[in-house]
């Protein structure tokens, strides 16, 4: 079968369209004939860290995917051949104390499709049956592939960690990225006021069409000062910062007393300067969050289906052009999700 694989530690030249063997499934696994897959920052991370992740090339990356069930293992009873499905990309052991408590994303052996095992960027991929969910009605294959990882990540941050409430003010850093865009869509559906930052005026404008209440270009404006102005010096209740780096201390400075900051990534660097005096004096809460548990995934799916929230798709490439898709993500040009179309089923 055809696949996009990382053929060694390195740059874009290591993202190649290759022939590999179709995966063989175990008794609790499902084989999916892929229709569409979506890129995440994780795929760049895997490509850049193949050696330290101890992955053997050619390694198929890809966390998100949707398609038709092609084969089921002997112990699979929840799905059948021909079902239209998408996947929860988080992999867990089911037996550790965290899994037993229903906190699968805290699993001692937590993994993600494409990072800790072979991923979705291929004509077929396999997953445990617990990770397979039906595609919501009215969703195209591209939409079904595009939302699971970023929406479950956003959901856990907003609902389980920050516990957002309608009417609150929120700041979202780096709009355009998949998680930031999902966060904006969820908070606008719930009824918060949302401010966003970007280095691109185009992205700020696109965010406003999605409901953002104001956009701040952080290359020409001090976003902490702008937030003070926009909130009559009060500050926002919640910041979602998946950027880190130099923005982090400023993110803390935008919060109201008792405010909450949630982080799920550090695209500008994981060891920023911080401001402990501000954290204790203003009694701020800082939450870390990764992916989501099975309950949150189901809740998020339900929300998306009921509210008709669909992911923003930036661009769709054929699977063979996987390297072009990687280049677009690496350049940070995207607004929303970059998708690879694998097959239309014909
Ligand atoms: Zn576990």
Residue 251 CA to ligand 1 centre (angstroms): 33
Gyration radius of the chain's alpha carbons? 20
Residue 243 CA to ligand 1 centre (angstroms): 28
* pLDDT tens per residue across span 26-78: 999 999 999 999 999 999 999 999 999 999 999 999 999 999 999 999 999 99
Number of H helices, E strands in the chain: 11, 18
Tell me, what DSSP letter sits at residue 108? T
Residue 111 CA to ligand 1 centre (angstroms): 10
Residue 9 CA to ligand 1 centre (angstroms): 29
Residue 17 CA to ligand 1 centre (angstroms): 34
Residues, beta carbon < 5 Å, ion ligand 1: 92-93, 96, 99, 107
Residue 173 has pLDDT above 80, yes or no: yes
Residue 30 CA to ligand 1 centre (angstroms): 20
* pLDDT tens per residue across span 217-262: 999 999 999 999 999 999 999 999 999 999 999 999 999 999 999 9
Residue 93 CA to ligand 1 centre (angstroms): 4
Burial state string for 96-128 with b = 16 or more CB within 10 A and e = fewer than 16: bebbeeebbbbbeebebbbbebbbbbbbbbbbb
Residue 91 CA to ligand 1 centre (angstroms): 9
Residue 27 CA to ligand 1 centre (angstroms): 19
Q: Write down the pLDDT at residue 286.
A: 98
* pLDDT tens per residue across span 84-135: 999 999 999 999 999 999 999 999 999 999 999 999 999 999 999 999 999 9
Residue with tokens 């996009």: 4
Residue 44 CA to ligand 1 centre (angstroms): 26
Residue 293 CA to ligand 1 centre (angstroms): 11
Residue 107 CA to ligand 1 centre (angstroms): 4
Residue 112 CA to ligand 1 centre (angstroms): 13
Q: Are 170 and 194 in contact (CB under 8 A)?
A: yes
* pLDDT tens per residue across span 294-336: 999 999 999 999 999 999 999 999 999 999 999 999 999 899 9
């Amino acid at each position: 079968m055809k696949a996009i694989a990382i053929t060694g530690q390195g740059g874009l030249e290591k993202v190649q369209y290759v022939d590999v063997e179709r995966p063989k499934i175990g008794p609790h696994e499902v084989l999916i004939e892929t229709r569409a897959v979506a890129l995440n920052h994780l795929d760049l991370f895997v490509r850049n860290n193949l050696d330290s992740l101890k992955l053997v090339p050619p390694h198929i990356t890809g966390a998100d995917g949707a398609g038709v069930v092609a084969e089921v293992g002997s112990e699979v009873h929840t799905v059948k051949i021909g079902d239209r499905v998408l996947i929860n990309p988080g992999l867990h052991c089911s037996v550790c104390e965290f899994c037993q408590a229903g906190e699968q994303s805290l699993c001692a052996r937590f993994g993600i499709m494409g990072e800790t095992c072979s991923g979705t960027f291929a004509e077929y991929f396999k997953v445990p049956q617990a990770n397979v969910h039906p595609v919501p009605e009215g969703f195209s294959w591209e939409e079904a592939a595009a939302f699971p990882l970023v929406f479950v990540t956003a959901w856990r941050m907003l609902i389980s960690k920050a516990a957002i409430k309608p009417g609150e003010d929120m700041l979202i850093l780096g709009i355009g990225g998949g998680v930031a865009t999902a966060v904006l869509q969820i908070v606008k559906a719930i009824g918060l006021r949302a401010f966003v930052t970007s280095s691109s005026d185009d992205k700020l404008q696109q965010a406003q069409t999605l409901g953002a209440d104001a956009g701040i270009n952080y290359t020409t404006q001090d976003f902490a000062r702008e937030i003070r102005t926009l909130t009559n010096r009060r500050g926002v209740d919640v910041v979602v910062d998946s950027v880190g780096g130099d923005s982090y201390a400023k993110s803390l400075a935008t919060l109201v007393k008792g405010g909450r900051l949630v982080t799920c990534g550090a695209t500008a660097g994981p060891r920023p300067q911080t401001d402990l005096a501000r954290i204790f004096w203003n009694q701020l809460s800082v939450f870390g969050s990764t992916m989501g548990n099975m309950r949150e995934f189901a809740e998020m799916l339900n929300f998306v289906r009921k509210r008709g929230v669909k992911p923003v798709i930036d661009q769709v490439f054929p699977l063979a052009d996987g390297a072009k898709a990687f280049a677009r993500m690496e350049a940070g040009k995207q607004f929303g999700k970059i998708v690879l179309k694998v097959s239309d089923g014909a």
